[in-house]
Amino acid sequence: MRRHRKIKIVATLGPASSTREMIHALFMAGADVFRLNMSHGSHEDVAARHRAIREVEAEVRNPIGILADLQGPKLRVGEFGEGGEVLLEAGQAFRLDLDPAPGDRNRVQLPHREIFDALEPGASLLINDGKVRLKVLSCGADFADCTVTVGGVVSNRKGVNVPDVVLPLAALSEKDRRDLEFVCDLGVDWVALSFVQRPADIEEARRLVRGRAAVLAKIEKPAAVKAFDEILAVSDGIMVARGDLGVELPVQNVPPIQKRLVRKCRAAAKPVIVATQMLESMIESPVPTRAEVSDVATAIYEGADAVMLSAESAAGRYPKEAVATMDAVAREVESDPTYVQIIESSRSAERRTVADGIVAAAREIAETTHVKAIACFSESGTTALLTARERTRVPILALTSRESTARRLCLSWGVDPVVAEPVDRFKMAVVAAIREAVAQDYATPKDRIIVVAGVPFNTPGSTNILRVAPCEERLIFEGEPE
């Protein structure tokens, strides 16, 4: 199904969007990839949603990507005594320790020895999404004596963020390991890893995934921002998860970080999602705020591959309207001449290989002639990703015989993935590309398209040939000499 926009939309499924009928409605409204949040719901719930997505995919005869988002380790305080909460005032002393006794106004349990092992005097501790802030005065193997710098209410099991140190915690908890194996066996296309602090976290996940899905790193901690280049090198994709970043970093730091990370992902030809609180008011309202629309537009102007809805589509009152709004904003932004100028002026890819040169040439030809589309043959998806990196003005058709590759490419900017019959000669590739371009109304028999492929076929990384092909009817049926 042809989308009249380049950026992709990721919609999270949940209680408000679990039925096959609603998933179909979200797809028709514009969702390209569905996110399964492993923090909520049982394996049976996840399997049912996965099954419904695949049923919709078969019905619409269009690849649909599925992203499973692992929960990651959750750091929380213990429980308080009667009432289940306390009010902390700025300037007072407060202790965190390993004692499981109910907490009070002076102390509470923090059942994570790893945090005490990493803490140093002067470190900050943030509770309840940063609403309450503590500064460590002294600490040991089982305690941290703090002063309250920002007061507020702390209740049972509230989350804790530790922004100033790299914690000696694995990104994969035991729950995550069980969930990862389950979703890989289920057949998801992407696995998103939470709590990433170092490239080793991604490398461990890749070993467990064993090629069954692409691995996406969620950048939500300051340590991940510092090690971003190394994390990007071992990841298949990135999610800029601004919610936790905005808790652990000063909020004014997040927009420039987002812009910088998106640019680096584009240069590396790896998909990047901008996520968290994009249309949050639509959880309760049928229309977004103007600030939210501007936020979504900013991610589109930056050239992100995808924007994501979380609670808006998972638990909100208007899931379909939220997707439709994001689709409408994307279309409007991408029709703005300024958008093209910004995208084209921000290309920064280094060209070192034959494949780099081929896709750059395809983009140059497309922009200086009346070519209607670029068709790539890509078994692994690499050629399509390189072509998408060019942020070309014309649509990109990615033809592959692998259903898994087509589904993963649903996350990539401007790419329309198509599952096609395998080919072993370039003439067959040209014929197949023309048929698909005409069938999907990207071109007419009087137009021309660009065909990019690698010879020999079915060899990853072999992109080495480009052809400007006329979509004449005789070519479809008669072919051309090799």
Q: Report CA 325 to chain centroid distance, whole Å.
A: 19
Establish whether 298 is a catalytic residue: no
Distance CA 362, CA 86 (A): 63
Q: Fill in the DSSP letter of residue 315.
A: T
Q: Which of 133, 221, 276, 387 is catalytic?
A: 276
109: Cβ contacts below 8 Å, ≥ 6 apart: 77, 78, 79, 96, 97, 98, 99, 100, 101, 103
Which tokens is 71 given?
A: 């929960």
Q: Which of 218, 389, 407, 408 is catalytic?
A: 218
Bridge partners for 214 per DSSP: 190
CA neighbor of 7 nearest in space, from 219, 279, 254, 302:
302
Please, are residues 120 and 111 in contact by the beta-carbon 8 Å criterion? Answer: no
Q: Which of 76, 263, 264, 347 is catalytic?
A: 76
Size of the chain in residues: 482
Bridge partners for 275 per DSSP: 241
Establish whether 218 is a catalytic residue: yes
Pairing of strands 143-150, 93-97: antiparallel
Residue 356 CA neighbour count, 13 Å, CB half: 9
Residue 286 CA neighbour count, 13 Å, CB half: 0
Q: Which of 5, 6, 8, 35 is catalytic?
A: 35
Establish whether 95 is a catalytic residue: no
Bridge partners for 153 per DSSP: 87
Q: How many helices (H) and strands (E) does the chain have?
A: 18, 21
CA neighbor of 278 nearest in space, from 333, 233, 212, 325:
325
Per the listing, tokens 């408000």 go with 16
Establish whether 76 is a catalytic residue: yes
Distance CA 151, CA 131 (A): 8
Angle 358-359-361 (CA atoms, 0-180°, nearest 5)? 65
Q: Residue 429 to residues 27, 280, 434, 480: CA-CA distances in angstroms?
A: 29, 45, 9, 11
Task: Order across the sheet with 374-377: list the strands.
Answer: 415-419, 396-400, 374-377, 448-454, 463-470
Per the listing, tokens 């072993």 go with 424
Q: Fill in the DSSP letter of residue 102.
A: P
Residues with active-site annotation: 35, 76, 218, 276
